[in-house]
Amino acid sequence: MNLYDYLYYVILPVLAICTIIIFARFLMGPTLSDRVVALDLLLTTGIGIIAVYSIHTDQPTFLDIAMILALIAFLGTVAFSYYLEKREKNE
C-alpha cells in the first residue's frame, strides 16, 4: 500500500466520518460557543480534506486555498471571542 492508497482508503473516510459527527454537534450544540467551536472544527476538517485531495491529485494550488480557508477560520474564531468578551462586559 503506497501513500496515495493510504490517503484515499484510510484518511479520507476517517475525515468524512469526523465531518458527520462534528456537523451533528453543530446542530445539537446547546450554546452558541459550542456551535462556534464545532464550526471551527468543521473548517479545520475541511482544510484536512482539501490537503489530502491536493496530495492525491498532485495539484499544489489547492494547498493555497486551504491556507486561505485556515486564515478565514482563525479570524472568525478571534472575532467570535472578541464578541463574547464584549457581551460579557455589557451584562
pLDDT, tens digit (0-9, with 9 covering 90-100), for 46-66: 999 999 999 888 899 999 999
How is the chain split into domains, by residue range? 3-90
Mention every residue, 6+ apart, whose C-beta is less than 8 A from residue 81. Answer: none
Q: What is the pTM of this model?
A: 0.85
HSE-CB for 83 with a 13 A CA cutoff: 9
pLDDT, tens digit (0-9, with 9 covering 90-100), for 4-47: 788 788 999 999 999 999 999 999 989 888 999 999 999 999 99
